[in-house]
């Protein structure tokens, strides 16, 4: 074969490969779970902001043994419609991804939603509210109880789609991250949330891999991210970016939930006992307690000002989910998993690794901040977000239940490696507490900068 013919053949093969890659990229838009999380999340936001859905059903608070108050009769049809509506979106996505086999999600989805409703009922009892046991705890407990006793049947596992549900919820969360929140708290929140977080992640990764010598680097980064950013949501994003195993994610989530409850109870008592300034107390709790709901509860237990500051710091910190996930994807592609003898991975590999639902998260934030607020006004957008937040709560509850259904104590035990992950969390969270308190004190004590008025 002449050199000219060989060149023509190589060029043809390159064009064919590029064409195939473009075809694959277009098909990803309807065949990948990450993309369906984006489409479903944006569609659910659209149902509220368009006025099609005016009220997403929310489980009421109740006390004693009054089951009629726990789930009022008039609420049952609304919850049934919610289940049908959510089921429609997730089944359509599953059919697009898997063809006719996608229908196997239906029975499992129905049971997961039903058990999630039970978890919500338990979480809304006066006793559970008083001790801070939210829906995440009860959903995980119910799932673990089933998986570690009778075992989770395959048909139920087909509907236990942890990442499918929580990624969709994270897209919805993006709409709650309004850019005006940053303007309200300015550089104070940025210094507390954005300076401390990457330092803590770096410290925990080095401590876990170099000092504790934990072999599973993906486990270390998931624990580090869940500790320093916002718990479960960040853990899911980090797990997707590092391709962590399900057992590693479950372990990180389990530790996060346990310590979130402990910190939510102890930190308000501590700051009130020592008379800590409310702005400082709120910033400290907002930057260290993992779950947004727990942050708000802890802040409000101290006072109105502390509650506002805690919520603002956590919201600003939550914005880092997308940035951190992107950074982890870059680090994993170009450092952790790179073969020294192989060519340097290009941007294409990074795009493949990047969790696509993060794009939906950012898109939802931009739409809410720069389209909906100018069009509708802040008050109207807040009303809509109160409904989309309920959507997110249902999706997260289903995800926690699915985590429990997919988890086994034997598998979790094998991840502990002599207690090293627990030590990683405790040392990392201690470092996080100290550093956050120091930075918050510098920013909000009034000794160096004026205290912002909220």
* Averaged pLDDT for residues 217-231: 87
Between 82 and 12, name the one with better pLDDT. Answer: 82
Structure-token pair, residue 392: 């997110």
Between 318 and 417, name the one with better pLDDT. Answer: 318
pLDDT tens track for 90-118? 999 999 888 878 899 999 999 999 999 99
pLDDT of residue 183: 67
398 within 8 A of 111, measured Cβ to Cβ: no
Q: What is the CA radius of gyration of the chain?
A: 23
92 within 8 A of 43, measured Cβ to Cβ: no
Residues 6+ apart with CB under 8 A from 360: 37, 38, 41, 42, 170, 171, 174
The residue to which tokens 């509650």 are assigned:
307
pLDDT tens track for 285-313? 988 887 766 676 677 678 877 877 887 78
Average pLDDT, the chain: 81
* Averaged pLDDT for residues 45-70: 85
- What distance in Å separates the CA atoms of residue 146 and residue 57, rounded to the nearest whole number? 27
* Averaged pLDDT for residues 317-346: 73
Q: What is the band of 17 on the pLDDT scale with cuts at 50, 70, 90? A: very low
Between 299 and 52, name the one with better pLDDT. Answer: 52
305 within 8 A of 282, measured Cβ to Cβ: yes
Q: What is the band of 188 on the pLDDT scale with cuts at 50, 70, 90? A: confident
* Averaged pLDDT for residues 186-210: 86
* String of DSSP letters for 306-340: HHHHHHHHHHHHHTHHHHHHHHHHHHIIIIIS--T
Dihedral angle of Cα 376, 381, 387, 393, to the nearest 10 degrees: 140
pLDDT of residue 142: 92
* Averaged pLDDT for residues 126-138: 76
The residue to which tokens 């910033």 are assigned:
283
Q: Residue 412 above 70 pLDDT?
A: no
DSSP 209: I
Lowest mean pLDDT of 34-38, 227-231, 439-443, name the range: 227-231
Q: Residue 16 above 50 pLDDT?
A: no
Identify the top-confidence range among 24-38, 276-290, 402-416: 276-290
pLDDT tens track for 242-259? 888 877 888 888 788 778
Q: What is the band of 153 on the pLDDT scale with cuts at 50, 70, 90? A: very high
């Amino acid at each position: 074969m002449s050199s000219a013919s060989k060149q023509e053949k190589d060029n043809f093969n390159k064009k064919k490969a590029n064409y195939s890659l473009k075809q694959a990229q277009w098909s990803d838009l309807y065949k990948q779970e990450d993309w369906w999380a984006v489409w479903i999340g944006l569609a659910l936001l659209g149902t509220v902001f368009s006025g099609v859905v005016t009220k997403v059903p929310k489980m009421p608070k109740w006390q004693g043994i009054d089951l009629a108050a726990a789930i009022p009769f008039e609420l049952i049809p609304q919850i049934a419609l919610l289940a049908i509506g959510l089921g429609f979106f997730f089944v359509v996505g599953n059919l697009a991804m898997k063809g006719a086999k996608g229908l196997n999600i239906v029975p499992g989805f129905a049971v997961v939603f039903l058990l999630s409703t039970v978890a919500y009922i338990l979480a809304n009892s006066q006793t559970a509210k008083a001790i801070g046991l939210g829906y995440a705890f009860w959903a995980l407990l119910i799932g673990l109880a089933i998986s570690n006793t009778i075992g989770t049947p395959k048909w139920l596992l087909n509907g236990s789609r942890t990442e499918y549900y929580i990624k969709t919820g994270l897209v919805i969360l993006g709409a709650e991250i309004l850019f005006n929140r940053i303007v309200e708290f300015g550089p104070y929140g940025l210094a507390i949330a954005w300076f401390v977080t990457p330092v803590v992640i770096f410290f925990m990764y080095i401590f876990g891999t170099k000092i504790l010598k934990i072999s599973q680097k993906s486990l270390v980064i998931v624990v580090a991210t869940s500790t320093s950013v916002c718990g479960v949501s960040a853990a899911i994003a980090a797990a997707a970016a590092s391709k962590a195993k399900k057992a590693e994610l479950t372990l990180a989530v389990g530790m996060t939930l346990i310590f979130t409850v402990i910190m939510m109870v102890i930190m308000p008592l501590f700051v009130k006992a020592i008379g800590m300034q409310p702005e400082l107390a709120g910033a400290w709790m907002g930057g260290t307690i993992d779950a947004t709901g727990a942050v708000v509860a802890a802040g409000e237990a101290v006072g109105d000002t502390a509650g506002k500051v805690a919520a603002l710091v956590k919201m600003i910190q939550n914005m880092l989910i997308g940035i951190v996930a992107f950074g982890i994807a870059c680090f994993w592609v170009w450092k952790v998993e790179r073969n020294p003898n192989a060519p340097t991975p290009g941007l294409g590999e990074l795009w493949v690794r990047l969790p696509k639902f993060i794009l939906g998260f950012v898109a939802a934030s931009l739409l809410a901040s720069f389209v909906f607020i100018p069009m509708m006004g802040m008050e109207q957008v807040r009303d809509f977000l109160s409904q989309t937040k309920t959507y997110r709560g249902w999706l997260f509850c289903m995800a926690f239940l699915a985590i429990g259904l997919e988890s086994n104590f034997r598998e979790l035990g094998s991840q502990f490696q002599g207690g090293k992950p627990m030590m990683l969390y405790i040392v990392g969270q201690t470092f996080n507490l100290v550093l956050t308190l120091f930075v918050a004190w510098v920013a909000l004590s009034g000794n160096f900068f004026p205290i912002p008025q909220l």
